[in-house]
Amino acid sequence: MKLATILSILCWALLSVGCKKEQVRPNVPAIELLSVSPLQVSSFGEGVKVRIRYEDGDGDLGFADPDTYALEVKEARLNAADRYHVPPLAPEGSTVSIQGDLEVELTPLFLLGNGTQEQTTYTIRLRDRAGNWSNRVTTPTITITQ
């Protein structure tokens, strides 16, 4: 009786260790804002650098065709978003969970009005090859001076 109990406990322990669940990541990309620099720029001066962390469950981020855009960046003062090319972040045709950091230098900002200072933000999202958009992240306020 004792031997059967010990064997069943041992089997249960081995099964529970061997059946550990893998963390499943969704196939829809997710991004997180890591840094934005600088937060104060001169009109037509240096570009703002934005660093984001990405994660995608099936690894279909980025495009081989340089005319296909994956990153959308919307500046708050403008109506249309700018789009940027992102090369494949994992081999095309593979289905592998990926994560990493992506840094983008955006085009220099400029004053739209007649004042000497304006403020804006960027809203960013990332699209995978299946057409799924990530969540949106918004930068802190950036000040543009003359």
Supply the pTM of this predicted model: 0.79
pLDDT by 10-residue block (mean), the chain, 146 residues: 51 50 70 98 95 94 94 97 94 89 95 94 96 97 96
- Measure the CA–CA gap between 101 and 96, rounded to whole angstroms: 16
Tell me whether residue 50 is in a domain.
yes
Give the residue among 30, 97, 33, 21 at the shortest CA–CA distance from 60. Answer: 97
Tell me whether residue 124 is in a domain.
yes
> What is the number of structural domains in the chain?
1
Contact 144, 111 (CB under 8 A): yes
What pLDDT score does 93 carry? Answer: 82
What pLDDT score does 32 carry? Answer: 98
Q: What is the CATH number of the domain that holds 87?
A: 2.60.40
What pLDDT score does 10 carry? Answer: 46
- Domain of 94 in residue numbering reads as 24-145
Tell me whether residue 93 is in a domain.
yes
What pLDDT score does 4 carry? Answer: 52
Tell me whether residue 11 is in a domain.
no
What pLDDT score does 2 carry? Answer: 59
Tell me whether residue 68 is in a domain.
yes
What pLDDT score does 43 carry? Answer: 95
The residues near 100 (Cβ < 8 Å, ≥ 6 apart) are 53, 54, 89
Tell me whether residue 4 is in a domain.
no
Tell me whether residue 2 is in a domain.
no
